[in-house]
Chain A
Amino acid sequence: MIKNLKRTLSTQKWREGLSGYLFFLPALILLSLFLLYPMAMAFYYSFTDFYLLTPQKKGFIGLENFTYAFSDNEFRTAFKNTVYFVVLVVPLQTAVGLGLALLVNKKLRFTIFYRTAYFSPVVMSLVVVSILWTFLYNPNEGFFNQVLESLGFAKQPFLTSPNQAMNSIIAMSVWQGAGFQMLIFLAGLQTIPGVLYEAASIDGANAWQKFKNVTLPGLKNVSIFIIITITIAAFKLLIQPMIMTQGGPLGSTRSLVYYTYQVGFAYRDVGYASALAVLFTVIVLIISLTQRKLLTEDRG
């Protein structure tokens, strides 16, 4: 009797497992074709001297691409630039996103209008946004300099100065992406039960205490999700420098991904570009795993 039951259970389990895999199959085929296969190829190419124009003549060169990467000044600068971007964008975008979410969560008039307005940059193509902001940042006729000038301040070089270019890109990126974080924070805010706030009011808590002791703990899981996704997205910085500065001036905005692109397609050094891509994946993986360890999620 018991034996029989066990057997039915196991066949049932096996069937369920199989059906799961069958459902997974289409996705698996597509993922293998467009993600796993290219990744495996990149890994293989990273040990070769694959030159874009002579694909049939690639030879195995061992770790040479990787050893060169560690002596490559441009790679080092690109790494530094990317880290600088991430370190500033992640907290800024999280803070702005949270601020906006708190604002539009208030029961005010026109909330829907504000939500749409803050979210609209996210829907726009990053390429379009980058081109528009290049106009705004134009050192001569740009909007920002006209405003500065009319307020009596000196004109700024923005994207044409090695000291300001990256910060200008960061400001634009925060503005562009914060709407998305706002939306997720908003969803998080709406899951916090109203009774908690009522209870806090009865206990005599002021607005700041409510924010600190009710809102923030309630948003913990959402925040972890947001910080990890922004970090990964920020590491992938590419479109902004590509369109706005071509990595300049003096390489001050060249990001890791943009440098990889440049090496692969402009310099045609697919082997080295693949090595850079592999290094990039390892770096992002390590950082994401560390974050995940440090910011433990509450599983409720």
Chain B
Amino acid sequence: MKKLLMFLMMALVAGLLVVGCSSSKEETSSNGDQDKTTPATEEEVVLQLWIHQTNEKETQFYLDRAAEFNEAHKGKIRVDVAPPIIDEGSSYNDAINAALVAGNLPDLIKLDGPFVASYAASEVIMPVGQYYTDEELADYVDSILEQGSYNGELYSLGAMESSVMLYYNKAIFAEAGIEAPTSVEDAWTWDEFFAVAKQLTTNDRYGLNLFMNYGVGEWMTYMGLPFVWSNGGDLLSPDGTTAEGYFNGPETVEALEFIKQLFAEGVVSISPSEMQFEEGNAAMALGGPWIALSTQDAGLDYGMMPYPRSKVAKSPSGSMAYAVTSQTKHPEEAAKFMLWMTDKESTIRLSEVTGMPPARKSAFAEMAEYETQPKKIMKDQVINSAQARPQTPAYPVLTQLFAEAFQAAALGEDVQKTLDNFVPRIERELSRFNK
């Protein structure tokens, strides 16, 4: 009997240990919460914002700008910015998903433009159009409103835009006597573009760099989709219900055949070195605004040209944006904060920190560097040829499969067959939302 008692005691202790561990965890977490939110004064609305980790300067800007908002709305609204979540892999999205399942999303989140639709369709974020006047929204560049809308309703606003320009090495161009176009209107056609790239390809130099070293992911869709749009194609039908005849339609096939040709002719490398363009080993490069910074750092004299076109001029667009989650109790205040974070001053300051183009027309008007080359091209594209990526809740699947098709074309695979193979997968995904 004694022994049995002892065993029972031991089991009890073991059980307590388990319970003890879990309860001590709860305590620390509740302490943590208290630290974050000091007791709110009466009637003050407290909002929580989650941001993802970017570079230090950019993160600091978000913190500073939110602090200024709190100062300006003292006693009425206060926004607490949670410590930025490191966005290695997909931990930021994982954190949002976990909070979603647990039902404790913050009031405001930052999210990448093309994900607006899926969050909107799943009612994770809420429409905010009613909180803004038409005049307030008129100043945003069209592509930002396009990216932030789903089913005709506005869900998200962003402070920065992005684009992809055709960079060129000035020394190589001068030597070959090639004149670079200076506006979207004069953008090279595919044929002109191909001819120059071919001409400038030598034994120890590529004519073009497409940064295939970024891997099979969002970059390939971001950079590659304008070839499809420019050719009059798209990935989904205009109403977004089917991919058949669009994802594998003749315009898309033609666009990817053009990509295939670039690689087949040895104009582009499937595995470029990290600094291929910056080191002068490629005459041209289709790169984001950040390439301007790294090229400058490398001391290379570069210029920018508009994205080459087929039938219509198109260029990539979109970046991180803000959205109000449907779990908030104070949508109006949250919308107010979103407007603040994307107002003229915010967009100008963010653009200065990141080198990305601002999302407002009035900001462009005040930033002198966008009036001269090379940045003039960036502005020209953002205002005149930018198109947001497809606003479909099936975007996560769509982008992965398009990126894979792009890579398959680069590797010389049969374009039509590759695209046909992917269509059923997209249709399956769409059927979830077409119900």
Residues on A close to B: CB < 8 A?
15, 18-19, 22-23, 25-26, 29-30, 49, 51-55, 68, 72-74, 138-141, 157, 160, 162, 246-251, 262, 265-269
- Closest 6 interchain pairs by CB? A53-B122, A140-B273, A160-B271, A26-B14, A139-B271, A22-B11
**From residue A155, how far is it (CB to closest CB) to chain B in Å?**
10
Interface SS of B by simple majority: helix
Residues of B within 8 A of A72 (CB): 425
Residues of B within 8 A of A29 (CB): 15, 18
Chain B: interface residue total (CB-CB under 8 A)? 41
> Roughly how many angstroms separate A53 CA and B27 CA in the complex, as a whole number?
29
Q: Which residues of B from 214 to 256 have beta carbons under 8 Å from A?
A: 215-217
A15's contact among B3, B273, B421, by CB below 8 Å, is which? Answer: B3
Contacting pair B396 A157 (CB below 8 A):
no
Contacting pair B400 A266 (CB below 8 A):
yes
Q: A19-B7, A30-B18 are in contact. List 5 more A-B contacts (CB 8 A).
A: A51-B122, A53-B124, A55-B100, A262-B400, A265-B90
B270 at the interface (CB under 8 A from A): yes
B411's contact among A68, A246, A249, A269, by CB below 8 Å, is which? Answer: A249
Which chain A residue lies CB-closest to B93? A265
**From residue B10, how far is it (CB to closest CB) to chain A in Å?**
7
B429 at the interface (CB under 8 A from A): yes
Contacting pair A141 B411 (CB below 8 A):
no
> Roughly how many angstroms separate A194 CA and B88 CA in the complex, as a whole number?
54
Contacting pair B271 A265 (CB below 8 A):
no
**From residue B15, how far is it (CB to closest CB) to chain A in Å?**
8
Residues of B within 8 A of A23 (CB): 10
Which chain B residue lies CB-closest to A74? B425
Q: Answer whether A267 and B396 are a contact pair too, CB < 8 Å, given A26-B17, A248-B407.
A: yes
Q: Which residues of B from 103 to 151 have beta carbons under 8 Å from A?
A: 118-119, 122-124
> Roughly how many angstroms separate A140 CA and B271 CA in the complex, as a whole number?
8
Contacting pair A54 B122 (CB below 8 A):
yes
Contacting pair A22 B411 (CB below 8 A):
no
**From residue A228, how far is it (CB to closest CB) to chain B in Å?**
31
B265 at the interface (CB under 8 A from A): no
A250's contact among B4, B124, B413, by CB below 8 Å, is which? Answer: B413
> Roughly how many angstroms separate A19 CA and B9 CA in the complex, as a whole number?
11
> Roughly how many angstroms separate A224 CA and B157 CA in the complex, as a whole number?
60
> Roughly how many angstroms separate A236 CA and B273 CA in the complex, as a whole number?
31
B40 at the interface (CB under 8 A from A): no
Q: Answer whether A22 and B10 are a contact pair too, CB < 8 Å, given A55-B100, A250-B404, A250-B413.
A: yes
Contacting pair A25 B413 (CB below 8 A):
no
**From residue B259, how far is it (CB to closest CB) to chain A in Å?**
15
> Roughly how many angstroms separate A26 CA and B4 CA in the complex, as a whole number?
17
B300 at the interface (CB under 8 A from A): no
Q: Which residues of B from 1 to 25 have beta carbons under 8 Å from A?
A: 3-4, 7-8, 10-11, 14-15, 17-18
Contacting pair B428 A53 (CB below 8 A):
no
A55's contact among B8, B90, B101, B216, by CB below 8 Å, is which? Answer: B101
**From residue A61, how far is it (CB to closest CB) to chain B in Å?**
11
Residues of A within 8 A of B74 (CB): none
Q: Answer whether A141 and B215 are a contact pair too, CB < 8 Å, given A74-B425, A267-B400.
A: no
Residues of B within 8 A of A140 (CB): 271-273
**From residue A156, how far is it (CB to closest CB) to chain B in Å?**
11
Which chain B residue lies CB-closest to A139? B271
B432's contact among A18, A51, A249, by CB below 8 Å, is which? Answer: A51
* Interface CB pairs A-B, < 8 A, 26: A15-B3, A15-B4, A18-B7, A22-B11, A25-B11, A26-B14, A26-B15, A30-B18, A49-B432, A53-B97, A53-B119, A54-B122, A72-B425, A73-B421, A157-B270, A157-B271, A160-B271, A246-B216, A248-B404, A250-B404, A250-B413, A265-B90, A265-B93, A267-B396, A268-B97, A269-B429
